Amino acid sequence: MTVIDDTQTSLAEIGTLIRGARQNRGLTQTQLAERLSTSQSAIARIEQGSQNLSVELLARINGALDADLLSIGTPRAAHLRVTGGQQLSGTITVKSSKNGAVALLCASLLNRGRTTLRQVARIVEVDRIVDVLRSIGVRATWSADGKDLEIVPPAELDLSAIDEEAARRTRSIIMFLGPLLGRESAFNLPYAGGCDLGTRTVEPHMIALRPFGLDVVATAGQYEATVQPDRPNEITVVLTERGDTVTENALMAAARHPGVTTLRNASPNYMVQDLCFYLELLGVRIEGIGTTTLRVHGLADIDADVEYAPGEDPVEAMSLITAGIVTDSEITVARVPVEFMEIELATLAEMGLRYTLSPEYPAANGRTRLVDVTVRPSELQAPIDKIHPMPFPGLNIDNLPFFAVIAAAASGTTLIHDWVYDNRAIHLTDLTRLGADVRLLDPHRLDVTGPTRWSGAEVSCPPALRPAVVILLGMLAAKGTSVLRNVDIIARGYEQLQERLIELGAQIETFRD
C-alpha cells in the first residue's frame, strides 16, 4: 500500500517532521539512511518532501527514530520505564520557552511582513498553534535544521478553514482574539482547551478587549466575535486579573490600535516581556516593559521583516534544577533566565540547597539575563513559611509543583499553597505512590513531609503538564524501577526531555503498547 498525499505540502510537512526528529536524535542523514538501509540522497528527498512514502517505510522511519511521528491508525501511547536512584552529572541547557513561543506565534498575525523566530522549542504546544496558523492560510516554514520558524501571514486569512481540533487542544488559541480584532470585523474561534487544571475563566480577556471594540458571544463550542470600528484615540485598560495571556491579548490589540493604550495591572512576566521585545522590533513603542503599567503606541499597519529569539524558559530551568536536587546530584543547568528564577532560587537557598551561579550573560534576544546554575548534593530542610506563587516577580505558579517533590526530599513539613489553580495540587498527590508523604488539606493546599524513602511504582501520568514532570522526577529519585504511563503530555511543553535527562545519566526507556 502506498500513501500518496493529495498535495505536495503534506509530503513537505512529513519531511519536516522527519528532519526535526532526526536532528533531535543527533543523527545525520547518512546515519538515518544506514538504519533504514537506504541512501543519504533518499533521506534528503524524503525530508524535502519530494518522495512518496509507503506505509512500510513510514513504520521503519518511526522505528529508526524511536518516534511516533507518523502513526497509521490509532496512535500508540508512550510510556517510560525509569530506573531511579541514580545520580546525574554533567550540563543540561535550558531551551526557549513554550509560553513565549505561543505568544509570538499569535503575535505574528499582527505583521504583514515575515517574522522569523529563532531557536523555537520543538514542542507539541507550538505544533498546535502552527497547525492552526497554517489552516487559516499562514505560511509557517521550519528552517532546514528544524530550529527556526519563518511565518508569513496571507493578505486575507481564511478563518472558515480553521483547524478546530488543533485549536481546541490549546488554551492559547484565546490569544488569536487580540491580533484578529485588528484585522477582521467579525470572526469565530473554537473554545480554548488545555491541561486539566480546573476552571480557567476567559472573562478577563473579554473585559480587556472590550475597549478595542470587541464583543464576544459564546455559542455552542465557539466564540462569535464582532468588532466595532470606532474607538477613541486614547484607550485605558484596567486588567481585572494580572494574567499573562490576558496582558498579551491586550498588548496585541494595542499594537494595531493607532493611538496610545495604557494597560494597568499588566503582567510583567517573561512571556509578556518576550512579546514586548518582538512588538518593539515591529515598530510599536512600549513604555514600562517589565512593570505593571504599559503604555503602547500602536500602529495602524505593520509590515516589517523581523527576526526574534524567544527567551529561555524559567519553568524548564526549574524542572532541570529539580532533577539535580531530587537525585542528590551535582549538575549544571545552563542558560537559566535568572530574573525569572530569583524567588525560586532564594527559597531553595533557605531550604539549604548548595548552588553556585556563573556570571550573567545575555540571551540571544539581547534582553534576557542568563546564568548557569550548578546545584550540589545538599541536606534540605522544610522552609519555615509556606511556599506560594504570586504574579511576577513572585514565585512562578508553573514552578510551584516542583516544590512538592523538592519538599518531599527535605526534612520536615512544607506547606504548599496553590491559590491559582483548582486542580493542579490534587495531581501532586500522585507522589504518594512513590512513597512521599503528601497530604491534601484542601484543593489548594498540600502538606509535604520528608525526607522520603522513595520507592518505584507504576503511575499513570497526570493529565497536566507540570505534575506529569514532577512525577517523572520523583521516579528518578526512587530506587528501583518505575513506570510512568501515557507520557505524551510532557511533549506539550518540553523538547526531548527524556532524551536530555538520559544524557545526564538518567536511566529512562520509552516503550509503547
Ligand X SMILES: CC(=O)N[C@H]1[C@@H](OP(=O)(O)OP(=O)(O)OC[C@H]2O[C@@H](n3ccc(=O)[nH]c3=O)[C@H](O)[C@@H]2O)O[C@H](CO)[C@@H](O)[C@@H]1O
Ligand Y SMILES: C=C(OP(=O)(O)O)C(=O)O
The contact set with ligand X (CB under 6 A) reads 99, 102, 171-172, 200-201, 241-246, 271, 391, 397-398, 420
**Which of 181, 195, 296, 318 lies at the binding interface for ligand Y (CB under 6 A)?**
195
By CB under 6 A, the residues from 446 to 475 that bind ligand Y are 465-466
User: CA–CA distance from 286 to each of 51, 312, 328, 375 (Å)?
Assistant: 48, 22, 44, 37
CA distances from 434 to 37, 48, 412, 473 (A): 43, 46, 18, 11
Residue (246 or 363) nearer to ligand Y, CB: 246
Which residue, among 495, 434, 435, has the nearest Cα to 465 in the 3D structure? 495
Which of ligand Y, ligand X, none does 213 bind, CB closer than 5 to 8 A by kind? none
- Least distance from ligand X to the Cβ atom of residue 235, Å: 21
Q: Are strands 222-227 and 186-190 parallel, antiparallel or unpaired?
A: antiparallel
CB 225 within 8 A of CB 215: yes
Rounded distance, CA 235 to CA 223, Å? 24
Q: Which is nearer to ligand X, 464 or 504 (CB)?
A: 464
Contacted entry of ligand X, ligand Y, none for residue 114, CB cut-off 5 to 8 Å set by kind: none
CA distance 340 to 392: 8
DSSP 411: B
Q: Does 398 bind ligand Y (CB under 6 A)?
A: yes
Can you tell me whether residue 104 is helix, strand or coil? helix
Nearest to 213 by CA among 240, 238, 186, 239: 186
Q: Is 194 in the site for ligand Y (CB under 6 A)?
A: yes
**Residue 465, binding choice from ligand Y, ligand X, none, Cβ under 5 to 8 Å by partner class:** ligand Y
Nearer to ligand X, 61 or 395 (CB): 395
Q: How far apart are CA 237 and CA 476, in angstroms?
A: 46
Q: Please give the C-alpha separations between residue 491 and each of 109, 126, 168, 409, 462, in angstroms, as whole numbers.
A: 25, 10, 17, 26, 13
Number of residues that bind ligand Y (CB under 6 A): 8
Candidate ranges 19-27, 190-198, 231-239, 494-502; the one touching ligand Y (CB under 6 A): 190-198
Task: Give the residue with the Cβ less far from ligand X, 99 or 273.
Answer: 99
Residue from 15, 182, 389, 493 touching ligand Y (CB under 6 A): that is 493
* Cα-to-chain-centroid distance, residue 51: 33
Query: Which residue number, 312 or 398, has a Cβ lying nearer to ligand X?
Result: 398
195 binds, among ligand X, ligand Y, none (CB under 5 to 8 A by kind): ligand Y
What is the Cα–Cα distance from 330 to 322, expressed in whole angstroms? 11
Q: How far is the CB of 73 from ligand Y (least distance, A)?
A: 29
Closer CB to ligand Y, 310 or 493, in the complex: 493
- Of 164 and 241, the one with the shorter C-beta distance to ligand X is 241
Residue 242 binding: pick among ligand X, ligand Y, none (C-beta 5-8 Å cut-off by kind): ligand X
171 in contact with ligand Y (CB under 6 A): yes
Residue nearer to ligand Y on the CB measure, 62 or 245: 245
The whole-angstrom separation of Cα 192 and Cα 163 is 13
CA dist 488 and 507 (Å) reads 18
Taking the complex as a whole, how short is the minimal distance between the CB of residue 107 and ligand Y, in angstroms? 16
The piece of 156-164, 194-202, 267-275, 478-486 that touches ligand Y (CB under 6 A) is 194-202
Smallest separation, CB 99 to ligand X (Å):
3
* 49: contact with ligand Y by CB under 6 A: no
Q: How many CB atoms sit inside 10 A of residue 187's CB?
A: 21
3-state secondary structure of 224: strand
Question: Which residue, 419 or 511, is less far from ligand Y as judged by CB?
Answer: 419
Considering only the stretches 11-19, 104-112, 193-201, 334-342, report the one whose residues sit in contact with ligand Y under the rule CB under 6 A: 193-201
Under rule CB under 6 A, residue 169 binds ligand Y = no
Residue 151: all three cell numbers together? 511565518
Residue 271's binding partner out of ligand Y, ligand X, none, with CB under 5 to 8 Å set by partner kind: ligand X
**Cβ–Cβ contacts within 10 Å for residue 355, how many?**
18
Instruction: Point out which residues bind ligand Y (CB under 6 A).
Output: 171, 194-195, 197, 398, 465-466, 493
